[in-house]
Amino acid sequence: MEIIYHGHSCLQIVVGGKSLVIDPFLRGNQLAVINPEDIKTDYILLTHAHMDHINDAEPIAKANDAPVVANPELSAYMSWKGVKTLEMNIGGTIDLGFAKAKMVQAFHSSGIVIAEEKRILYGGMPAGYIIQSEGLTILHAGDTALFGDMKMIGERYQIDVAFIPIGDHYTMGPEDALQAAEWYQAKLVIPVHYNSFPVIQQDAAAFVQKLEERGLNGELLAPGESIEIA
**Domain map (residue ranges) of the chain:** 2-219
- Check residue 177 and give its pLDDT: 99
- Check residue 107 and give its pLDDT: 98
Q: Nearest CA to 96 among 15, 39, 167?
A: 15
Kindly report whether the global pTM for this prediction surpasses the value 0.95: yes
Classify domain 2-219 by CATH number: 3.60.15.10
- Check residue 41 and give its pLDDT: 98
**pLDDT mean over 30-43:** 97
Contact 98, 23 (CB under 8 A): no
Euclidean distance between CA atoms 171 and 123, whole angstroms: 17
> Around Cβ 79, how many Cβ atoms within 10 Å?
14
Q: Partners of 17 in the beta sheet?
A: none
SS3 40: coil
Q: Nearest CA to 174 among 197, 192, 148?
A: 192
Q: 146-205, pLDDT tens digit by residue?
A: 999 999 999 999 999 999 999 999 999 999 999 999 999 999 999 999 999 999 999 999
SS3 207: helix
Q: What is the mean pLDDT of the chain?
A: 98
